[in-house]
Amino acid sequence: AIQRISNPELTMRFVLLVLLLILLLIGFCTSQQESPEMGEARLLSACMGPRGEDAVDKVILALADGADINVQDGKSGQTPLMAAVLRGKEKIVKYLLEQGADVTIGEKQGYTAAHGAAFQGRKDIVDLLVKHGIDAKEDQHDDGYLPFHRACWGREKRHTEVVEYLLDLGVDVNVLSANGKACIDMTSNDETIDLLLERGSKPPQDKKDEL
């Protein structure tokens, strides 16, 4: 004879089936989760991508998935912040700073974000860094140059804008690098030269030699 299954027994089997399905679903979701290393690769990729791709949404997702905000690229040593600074990704830079990215970590050769932003002539990014605690006036690299000096090398108007910003911040117009050169001795940018002279720079060393 066929044994009838009581209602309590049906209920128990149904509960067990539901629990089994839940366990299977949890296992599937766990298998789909990426490792922290994969999240960090996505974070670096978003920051090191082509200039103009300021995809802050990708950075937000990578950090939400647990990526280390200060992870360093294995080849260049660049952090996400440094990579974004060098590529002019201002939205990403702003978001990373707001999330507590370390502004003092240098890349493989020790250059910090302030040096990168000044060298690239990115005044708005220098301003963001300063507002988040970096000392752009005193951040001297082991090679003896300040961010100010790196901006002096640039030939574009944007480099002059960084020079002016740093002067307004309090950098001495005649501050010397380790090799004894002032900004005016390093630059061939006419706009920068005019600005430096207006701000009280001494004449270039080659000009002083002619006097």
Distance CA 55, CA 91 (A): 8
What is the span of the domain harbouring residue 142?
113-211
Token couple for 107? 């890349």
Q: What pTM does this model have?
A: 0.77
Does 147 reside within a domain? yes
Query: Do residues 117 and 211 both lie within one domain?
Result: yes
Q: Read off the pLDDT of residues 156-205 as tens digits, 9 standing for 90 and up.
A: 999 999 999 999 999 999 999 989 999 999 999 999 999 999 999 999 98
Distance CA 175, CA 106 (A): 23
Domain of 92, CATH number, reads 1.25.40.20
Only one residue has tokens 């629990």, namely 19
Does 119 reside within a domain? yes
The total of structural domains in the chain comes to 2
Token couple for 206? 């080659």
How would you class 127 by CB atoms within 10 Å of its CB: exposed for 0-12, middle for 13-18, buried for 19 or more? middle
Is residue 3 over pLDDT 60?
no
Does 61 reside within a domain? yes
Token couple for 203? 């004449």
Helix (H, G, I), strand (E, B) or coil at 100: coil
